[in-house]
Each structure stands twice: as C-alpha cells, then as structure tokens.
Amino acid sequence: MQRLTGRTRDTSVGSPEAQQEPLRAALLEAIQRSRAAREGQIAGVSVEINLLRADLRKVADKVSEAETNIGMLQLEIRQLKQQMARVTTLTSALEERAEDTEGHSRRNNL
C-alpha cells in the first residue's frame, strides 16, 4: 500500500500491461473467430464461383453447338433457295413448252 497525503491507496490491482492482458486475449480471440468466419465465407464463395464456372462452360458449349447448327441450317437454306430457283426456272420452261404444244395441237386439229 502506498501512502498519499494521509490516505492509503491500494495498488495491488497490477500494472497497466497486466490490466490490458485480458483485453488483448479477448481481442485476439475475436480476430481469430472473425478470420475463421471469413475463411469459411471465402470457401463458400469459391465453391459458388466454381459452380458458376461449370454452368458457364455448359452454356458456352450449348451456344457453340447452336452456332454450328445455325451455320449448317444457313447453308441448307442457301442450297434450298438455289434448288428452288432452278425448279422455278424449269417449271416456267415446262409451262411454256406445254402452251406451245397445246397451240401446235390445236392448229393441227383445225
């Protein structure tokens, strides 16, 4: 005990460092819990990112397949249009021949 102007003061509580030790320990424990929680959150986010990447790969594959199919269909449509043009030309020529033949047939029957 220390004597101050006639009064006694109890200094057995300890030094300031000793008083701060429980606070430091509690703070360190809180930081460690926070770090563990964040690491868990980061792990969860990493799993979600990997799942999204897998989904994105599937979508990219489907888009690539769709592009290939569209390209094939465009080629087929082009070929069908060319074929339709030839058939239309041939049909017109055959109609003209049929009309000419009908005309010759009528003239010969008169």
pTM (global) more than 0.85 = no
Summarised one tens digit per residue, pLDDT across range 78-103 is 999 999 999 999 999 999 999 999 98
DSSP per-residue codes, 21-88: HHHHHHHHHHHHHHHHHHHHHHHHHHHHHHHHHHHHHHHHHHHHHHHHHHHHHHHHHHHHHHHHHHHH
Q: Report whether pLDDT(7) > 70.
A: no
